[in-house]
Amino acid sequence: MKKKFDLKERTSKFGEEIIEFVRILNSNPINKPLISQIVRSATSIGANYMEADCAESKKDFKHKIGICKKESSETQHWLKMIKFANPVLKEKINYLDKEAHELLLIFASIIRSCDKKN
């Protein structure tokens, strides 16, 4: 039996993984603002996907998915900055970056699919 793909669960899990990850970072003057930014952008992906799932129109759905895509991209940026500031965590950051990139590609695909239907 094929497992159902659950984007709600995947985006929620990603936000949780980011929260777990930032707990291991030292709260120094460099990391502190980076932590704040990445928690906002990464958890926003799931929140906006939940809003898209309850969209009032196709236009609203596409807009919210676009925000998910932008937040995924922003999360990749903050991961890059955190990797620069904390190079010893490169492996874990690369894993999180891969997931953020995959989410970005999924949202880009959804947007393309919306465009084809119009």
pLDDT in tens, 64-91: 999 999 999 999 999 999 999 999 999 9
pTM, 2 dp: 0.92
Residue 5, pLDDT > 90, answer no
Ordered domains of the chain (ranges, CATH): 10-20+31-117 (1.20.1440.60)
What is the average pLDDT value for the chain, to the nearest integer? 94
Provide DSSP, 52-107.
HHT-SSHHHHHHHHHHHHHHHHHHHHHHHHHHHH-GGGHHHHHHHHHHHHHHHHHH
pLDDT band at 3 (very low <50, low <70, confident <90, very high): very low
Residue 30, pLDDT > 80, answer yes
Range 42-45, long-range pairs (CB < 8 A, 24+ positions): 42/14, 42/15, 42/18, 42/71, 42/75, 42/78, 42/100, 43/15, 43/18, 43/19, 44/71, 45/11, 45/14, 45/15, 45/71, 45/72, 45/75, 45/103
